[in-house]
């Protein structure tokens, strides 16, 4: 993954839900304080208020921003909608870019990783998880500008080590894509990153069971669990659904919908040591 430098141009896009103008303005101010030139997205009025425009408009904005003279494309927020536009983007034709997003943007990470582009699962500048969290800001900036290559956090659920390409993101979005025309399991030996927000334990059970029965975990050599904010007490569900898969599992790793979240790359190779609580790029 390429690093950013001061003076680089960054395009903000809205592939999912609309973000408030005040949040986007505050996020842009932070990005500009890093020395970046920032262009903001155009959000059209649309009959479905939870979308930042029609599928065609959001896909066109995404492609136009990506193919412009920018070093990075950054999603302003998640919400819902990315899954609706994946078949409208010519993924194989997109030039290399730094890409940042999380939550609903999980499906866009999967598409980009599938064509060989590394991406960043991190906080988005049109959300409180970025604007109101200086620690999360600093961790994203460090990854984008300095190239962080190792993290130590979490607690072991199943001890052991694994080496593979980092994949995954939001568990509900991964399950939603299962069985669709563009669905594909992880590459052999992949290390899966999983997190979610606002899912009751029984719903999380359903999400993980769907992924298990679809064979999504079969190629996976290790699992790293992030935050489960607003999901209640999910420890027993996670252990029940994942501990028996026969791979190392590291829990409470601190990425996703949580304070001070780590920004982590996807589509790159890493070594997981669940016993030591480390994730290291190779």
CA angle (16, 22, 25) in 5-degree steps: 85
For residues 96-103, give the mean pLDDT. 98
Instruction: Give me the percent of the chain exceeding a pLDDT of 70.
Output: 100
Considering only residues 1 and 149, tell me which one the structure prediction assigns the higher pLDDT: 149
- Confidence band for 46, pLDDT divided at 50, 70 and 90: confident
Confidence at residue 89, expressed as pLDDT on a 0 to 100 scale:
98
Confidence at residue 270, expressed as pLDDT on a 0 to 100 scale:
98
pLDDT digits (tens, 9 = 90+) for 225-266: 999 999 999 999 999 999 999 999 999 999 999 999 999 999
For residues 176-183, give the mean pLDDT. 86
Confidence at residue 41, expressed as pLDDT on a 0 to 100 scale:
84
pLDDT digits (tens, 9 = 90+) for 120-137: 999 999 999 999 999 999
Whether pLDDT at 45 is above 90: no
- Confidence band for 15, pLDDT divided at 50, 70 and 90: very high
Confidence at residue 2, expressed as pLDDT on a 0 to 100 scale:
83
Confidence at residue 28, expressed as pLDDT on a 0 to 100 scale:
97
pLDDT digits (tens, 9 = 90+) for 191-217: 999 999 999 999 999 999 999 999 999
Whether pLDDT at 179 is above 90: no
Annotated catalytic residues are 103, 195, 257
Instruction: Give me the percent of the chain exceeding a pLDDT of 90.
Output: 94
For residues 71-85, give the mean pLDDT. 97
pLDDT digits (tens, 9 = 90+) for 146-173: 999 999 999 999 999 999 999 999 999 9
Q: Give the C-alpha separation, 58 to 15, whole Å.
A: 5
Confidence at residue 181, expressed as pLDDT on a 0 to 100 scale:
81
Q: What is the value of pTM for the model shown? A: 0.97
Confidence at residue 183, expressed as pLDDT on a 0 to 100 scale:
85
For residues 1-9, give the mean pLDDT. 94
For 72, 193, 220, the CA distances from 37, given in Å and listed in that order, are 10, 31, 39
């Amino acid at each position: 993954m390429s690093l950013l430098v001061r003076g680089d141009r960054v395009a903000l896009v809205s592939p999912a839900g609309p973000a408030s103008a005040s949040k986007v303005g505050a996020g842009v101010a932070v990005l500009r304080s890093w020395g970046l030139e920032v262009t903001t997205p155009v959000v059209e009025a649309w009959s479905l208020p939870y979308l930042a425009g029609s599928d065609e408009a959001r896909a066109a904005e995404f492609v136009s921003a990506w193919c412009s003279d920018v070093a990075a494309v950054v999603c302003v927020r998640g919400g819902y909608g990315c899954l609706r536009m994946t078949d409208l983007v010519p993924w194989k034709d997109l030039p290399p870019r730094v890409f940042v997003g999380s939550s609903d943007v999980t499906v866009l990470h999967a598409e980009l990783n599938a064509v060989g582009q590394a991406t960043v699962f991190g906080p988005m500048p049109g959300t409180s998880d970025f604007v109101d969290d200086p620690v999360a800001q600093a961790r994203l900036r460090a990854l984008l500008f300095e190239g962080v290559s190792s993290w130590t956090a979490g607690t072991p659920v199943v001890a052991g080590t694994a080496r593979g390409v980092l994949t995954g993101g939001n568990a509900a979005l991964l399950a939603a894509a299962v069985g669709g025309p563009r669905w594909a399991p992880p590459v052999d030996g992949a290390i899966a990153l999983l997190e979610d927000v606002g899912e009751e334990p029984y719903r999380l059970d359903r999400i993980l069971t769907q992924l298990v029965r679809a064979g999504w975990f079969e190629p996976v050599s290790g699992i790293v669990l992030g935050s489960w904010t607003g999901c209640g007490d999910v420890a027993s569900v996670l252990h029940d659904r994942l501990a028996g898969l026969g791979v190392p599992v590291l829990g409470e790793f601190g990425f996703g919908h949580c304070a001070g979240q780590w920004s982590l790359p996807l589509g790159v190779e890493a070594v997981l040591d669940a016993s030591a609580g480390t994730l290291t790029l190779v």
